[in-house]
Copies of this chain bind each other. A is one copy, B any other.
Amino acid sequence: MPIQALLFDVFGTLADWRSTIAREAKALVAPRGHDLDWEAFADAWRAEYQPAMEEVRSGRRGFVKLDTLHAENLDRILPRFGLAGLSEGERIVLNHIWHRLDAWPEVSEAMRRLSAAFRLGSCSNGNIAIMVDFARHNGFRFDAVLGSEVTGAYKPDARAYLGSVEAFGLEPGDCMMVAAHSSDLAAAARCGLKTAHIARPNERGPGKGEARPSVPVDHAARDLADLAAILGA
């Protein structure tokens, strides 16, 4: 049975979050007289991501969407960078950068090719509005935004994968999870999905990213255009 649908991780796999956050935060805040290491700022914000979701995954907190966690995480890190004085309005604008992340260079064209051959779903921990705005910003569309907000669960919770598969009306083996993170793919494989790894060797800075998977996968691709070629799209 051929693959019917591709499910995509987004932050890191499709989106170059680090460069966009660093550049756009600088553009917004530097004119107010702040000079700081903007890549370190992006890294610090992102470092709060897993701990915040873990509160939900562990059951200590009910499901809240990522826009809310991002805002709380921003409040947490601003004092470390001398930015405790930013207004609520400035914080809202900063938080919205996550809605207009740049895709990696080959992604938009590759997504349009893949869309002709497969149903495309986001299976991200980002909420629906982030995914909608990200896809529009980069000139493609998902067939459906799935993942955390639709399933009420954060990856690697199995419900995030299985709920996304079920929303498409498919079986896990009909679907392929596409991600730049071996842990994500390992969790998807445990749920019965096929897996494709996308190399993003510079995701978290030069040389700080997965150049290849550390777990068994069905396909390992150099980038999304390579995956499209592998899948014959």
- Is there contact, CB below 8 Å, between B132 and A144? yes
Contact mask for chain A residues 169-198; partner B; CB cutoff 8 A; 1 contact, 0 none: 110000000000000000000000000000
Q: Mark A76-103, 1 if CB is under 8 A from B, else 0.
A: 0000000000000000000000000000
State A169–B65 Cα separation when bound (angstroms): 11
CA distance A99 to B132 in the complex (A): 23
Please state if A143 and B150 are interface contacts (CB–CB under 8 Å).
no
Q: Which of B131, B144, B149 contacts A128 (CB 8 A)?
A: B144
A149 lies within 8 A of B167 (CB):
yes
Which 6 pairs of residues, A with B, have the shortest CB-CB distance? A129-B169, A141-B141, A128-B167, A132-B143, A144-B145, A132-B144
A interface residues (Cβ-Cβ under 8 A, vs B): 67, 115, 119, 127-129, 131-132, 135-136, 141-146, 149-150, 167-170
